[in-house]
A = this chain, B = another copy of it.
Amino acid sequence: MAKKQDYNIDFTAGLTDIWRILKDNEREILKNHASVHHFKKNQMIYCEGDQPQYLMCLLKGKVKIFKEGVGGRYQIIRMIKTVQYFGYRAYFAEEKYLTGASAFESTIVCMIPMRIVSELVRINSDLAFFFIKQLSVDLGIADERTVNLTQKHVRGRLAEALLFLIDSYGLEEDGATLNIYLAREDLASLSNMTTSNAIRTLSIFVSEKIITLDGRKIKIIDEEKLRKISKLG
């Protein structure tokens, strides 16, 4: 793995959330232990079963967190956008990683040893609250997600996935094209359905003038309708 020296990035700029919380001497500690790593498209960042060691902050690119299910079928559990933190849950829970993470596209990640993070949490209660809040929010999202994935039908689940992608990565300058190009397979494993059904449902959405497709580019035409479909299930 490449060290921070290899990349001419002010990685502290990306660490805003935590940076703001820390005192000067704590920032010094963090700076001395942080390193910046580059991952190529589809490269694994960590694997299910690995021993967690780092708090990671996504500086550039996109990351998917996924989990292998029954019969090798994998499911995307969450997706990380820039300046989001990830990879710390398992360490705090004193478990091995239950999920894997891989780079969706060329990605830069800042890594801070959890040993150091733990130490900072111990001496800075604001940082403790930061993680408590983060975990609490994520747990809420996970609970919502469970109900959505189990109770909604394919249309609802796909609509929701699209809305989630808009929310996470936004739209291009035209204000319509999704700012992420993912394979149908990924869209499927994000909305818990087979690839064929993702493809099929997408083209139904096209025929209903909710979206248009150009290869992997997805243009959102009628977000309101998506919202309605997602809500009704």
Give chain B residues whose Cβ lies under 8 Å from the Cβ of A95. 137, 140
* Residue A73 at the chain B interface, CB threshold 8 Å: yes
* Residue A107 at the chain B interface, CB threshold 8 Å: no
C-alpha spacing A138/B138, complex, angstroms: 10
Judged by DSSP, the binding face of A is helix
C-alpha spacing A95/B133, complex, angstroms: 10
Say whether A150 contacts B149, CB under 8 Å. Answer: yes
Given contacts A75-B151, A150-B149, contact A140 B89 (CB under 8 A): yes
Say whether A93 contacts B150, CB under 8 Å. Answer: no
* Residue A206 at the chain B interface, CB threshold 8 Å: no
Query: Of B77, B92, B143, which is within 8 A of A136 by CB?
Result: B92
* Residue A67 at the chain B interface, CB threshold 8 Å: yes
In the complex, which residues 77-97 of chain A have their Cβ closer than 8 Å to any Cβ of chain B?
A: 77, 88-90, 92-95
* Residue A131 at the chain B interface, CB threshold 8 Å: yes
* Residue A70 at the chain B interface, CB threshold 8 Å: yes
C-alpha spacing A94/B129, complex, angstroms: 12
Given contacts A122-B125, A132-B121, A135-B132, contact A98 B143 (CB under 8 A): yes
The CB with the most chain B CB atoms within 10 A, among A90, A121, A135, A137, is that of: A135
Say whether B75 contacts A140, CB under 8 Å. Answer: no
* Residue A145 at the chain B interface, CB threshold 8 Å: yes
Say whether A144 contacts B98, CB under 8 Å. Answer: yes
Give chain B residues whose Cβ lies under 8 Å from the Cβ of A142. 139, 142-143, 146
Say whether B151 contacts A92, CB under 8 Å. Answer: no
When each residue 109-147 of chain A gets 1 if its CB lies under 8 Å from chain B and 0 otherwise, what string results?
000000000000111010011011101111110111111
Residue of B nearest to A67 (CB): B147
Min CB distance A149 to B, Å, is 5
Min CB distance A117 to B, Å, is 11
* 11 A–B pairs (Cβ distance < 8 Å), ordered by A: A67-B144, A70-B233, A75-B151, A90-B136, A98-B144, A121-B128, A125-B125, A128-B132, A132-B135, A139-B139, A139-B142
Interface residues of A (CB under 8 A from B): 67, 69-71, 73, 75, 77, 88-90, 92-95, 98-99, 121-123, 125, 128-129, 131-133, 135-140, 142-152, 156, 192, 232-233
